[in-house]
Structure 1
Amino acid sequence: MARNYPPDHDPSRPTGPARRRARLSDQETERRMLDTAVAMVHRDGLTVGLDHLGFEDVIRDAGVSRTTVYRRWPYKDLFFSDLLRELARGAAPASAPALETTGEVLSEVLSSRSEDLASPQGRHDLVTELLRLTAVSDFEAVHGSPEWRTYLALQATFLSLPEGDLRADVQAALARSEQRFVDRVARGWETVATALGYRLRPETGGSFPLIATLACAAMRGLVLMSLSDPDLLTRRVPANPTTASAASDWSLLGMAAASIAVTYLEPDPDVTWDDLA
């Protein structure tokens, strides 16, 4: 009996029971399992430990063979140890705007107040305004970041691990993650300072990585405090921490960033500005 097939029918392609899922290699199964579990952690959050994460749930969501998974990890504790290593390698201590975002904020401030570039006080006011604005966006981004909560839980989990290879691996991975984050923040500070004609104060012995470390510590401390005191997110202080032309309403993180900037940065006397008047 003749059958009517759709125009795009391919008789060489198996259908029904003959259709089988492509077999994954052990390496592909491992990668898919870890990627799926990391995504689940970022979606649902990480408690101190991974007891809330079901091994069978990861297998199901990853769409991999149980036989292959159990050959790779005969016990689920072995998988969770590898997952901790994976999370630590990819962990970010906190979300922060990329350098592109910092550049966008700088461009926005400059376009709306370009006339301020004509004088030293005007440029100082621009730096002040940039600190004030980016502190608010940074604080809000970190506070709402699931990666931040995962990192916080990873730190607590690391402290509870017994001495051994797993603890050493997680500690080393977290340290590398921390350094990458500080380096990124340092580049942001240096980009903005250079663009507006500022330099490090020679007598302070400071550096942009040091500034970044202090700024990150202040941000992390305030975000941690705000978990139990959410009012810190919206608290504003009328102040003029940089001796700008006028006082403004400052967030607490902005006050901390301004204090760091005043301590370590100054106008670069070797930078000559064109007459913009």
Structure 2
Amino acid sequence: MPQSYPPEPGPSMPAGPARRRRRLTDEETGRRMLDTALAMVHRDGLTVGLDHLGFEDVIRDAGVSRAAVYRRWPYKDLFFGDLLRELAGGAAPASAPALETTREVLGSVLAARAGDLATPEGRHDVITELLRVTAVSDFEAVHGSAEWRTYLALQATFLSLSEGALRADVQAALARSEQRFVERVAHGWEAVATALGYRPRPGTGGGFPLIATLACAAMRGLVLMALPEPGLLDRRVPANPTGASAAADWSLLGLAAAGLAVTYLEPDPDVTWDDARLAALTGSGLTRARTEPGS
């Protein structure tokens, strides 16, 4: 998290022992400037480019010496290049809902459907309901996320960069951020599917990383479409995409998630549903699963 720094003493401030501070190193000046600019972006969002950030405003808010800043970055474009690298390195392509919120959703579904876990048909209905319910909360969380909009703008800014070291650095950092996020989503799918006795379907070519990649793409596409058309957030389709025991009203993201589940997952024949497994699942197992958007 960006830190809050006390201002460096200026010429008009008392210079006595009580007010004297050591001079910041070049590295400390740079860290303060970048942290302050990151805080501004996270507060106000990122436009396509960084023109909305004033270099002098960053210097003022960072509480550092102008002379030290210009020694480190003789031109402000050099600073904004380093800021883009920082943003790309810490960016996430979408904002995850709070883990506690996800646990509450999962726990409420299990509490309402605990009796269904004893049969294959019941477990199918439970995982169907989890897909349907979590998709709604995930879609709303990501659509309202300032971090996601910053990531979208960052990608557009990257596309406008000229070929060179800065573009290559930002591209590599974005790729690493994307991979980290997909890995978290894959972990979420695996945790829930495994807890309910499902596995990747043999012959489909899709393990949990592929499922997560497709889930992220569906999430991002729908959130992007919903920016100019927010009605997509509330759109529901009466459907039964998984062949559950009953139809229900599905969000668009829920339909996409259900399609992935039907294509790539199947009940694991090696799982034995005995009393111990049922007790462990209804007691705590699934509610502790770490999940992310798209799960």
Do Structure 1 and Structure 2 share a fold, with TM-score over 0.5? yes
Superposed CA offset, 1:128-184 (max 9, x none) = 111111111111111111111111111111111110000000001001111001000
2:5 is aligned to none
Partner of 1:157: 157
- Identify the residue that residue 28 of structure 1 maps to in structure 2: 28
Q: Retained in 2: the 8 A contact 1:117–1:123?
A: yes
Q: Percent identity?
A: 83
Which stretch of the first structure deviates more once superposed, 55-64 or 183-192?
55-64
Give ranges in structure 2 of 5+ residues lacking alignment. Answer: 1-12, 280-295
When structure 1 is superposed on structure 2, of 232-241 and 94-103 the one drifting more is 94-103
The equivalent residue for 2:238 is 238
CA deviation after TM superposition for structure 1 residue 105, in Å:
3.2
Mapping for residues 111-122 of structure 1, pairs under 5 Å: 111-122=111-122
Is the 2:239–2:248 contact (alpha carbons within 8 Å) kept by the matching residues of 1? yes
> 1:47 & 1:144 partners in 2: Cα distance?
16
Give me the whole-angstrom Cα distance separating, in 1, the residues matched to 2:60 and 2:98.
Answer: 35
Q: CA deviation at 1:104?
A: 4.5
Alpha-carbon distance in structure 2 between the residues aligned to 1:97 and 1:214: 19
Counterpart position of 2:173? 173
1:228 corresponds to: 228
Q: Mapping of 1:128-207 within 5 angstroms? A: 128-207=128-207
**Counterpart amino acid of residue 212 in structure 1:** A
Change (3 A) 1:184 1:248: same
Q: Distance in 1 between matches of 2:201 and 2:217?
A: 21
CA distance in 2, matches of 1:163, 1:174: 16
Aligned to 2:109: 109
Asked if the contact 1:37–1:58 (Cα under 8 Å) also holds between the matched residues in 2, the reply is: yes
Give the secondary structure class of the aligned counterpart of 1:199: strand
Q: Which runs of 5+ in 1 are unaligned?
A: 1-14
Q: Which amino acid aligns with 1:260?
A: L
Deviation per CA, 1:46-90: give whole Å up to 9, x if none. Answer: 111101100011111111111111111111110000000000000
SS of alignment partner, residue 199 of structure 2: strand
Please list every run of at least 4 consecutive aligned residues from structure 1 whose deviation after the TM superposition is greater than 3 angstroms.
Answer: 97-105
> Aligned equivalents of 1:119 and 1:126: distance in 2?
10
Residue 66 of structure 1 aligns with which residue? 66
What amino acid maps onto 1:191 in structure 2? Answer: A
Shift of 1:27: 1.2
The amino acid that maps onto 1:119 is T
Q: Aligned to 2:47, what secondary structure does the other structure show?
A: coil
1:246 is paired with a residue whose SS is coil
1:17 CA displacement: 4.7
8 Å contact from structure 1 (residues 106, 192) kept in 2: no
For 2:125 and 2:48, the matched residues in 1 are separated by 44
**Cα offsets for 1:209-237 (capped at 9, x unmatched):** 10000000001000000111110011111
Residue 100 (structure 1) shift = 6.4
C-alpha displacement at 1:24, in angstroms? 2.1
Q: What CA RMSD, in Å, does the superposition of the two structures yield over aligned residues?
A: 1.7
Give the TM-score normalised by the residue count of structure 2. 0.85
The secondary structure found in structure 2 opposite 1:238 is strand
Could you state the TM-score of these two structures normalised by the residue count of structure 1?
Answer: 0.90
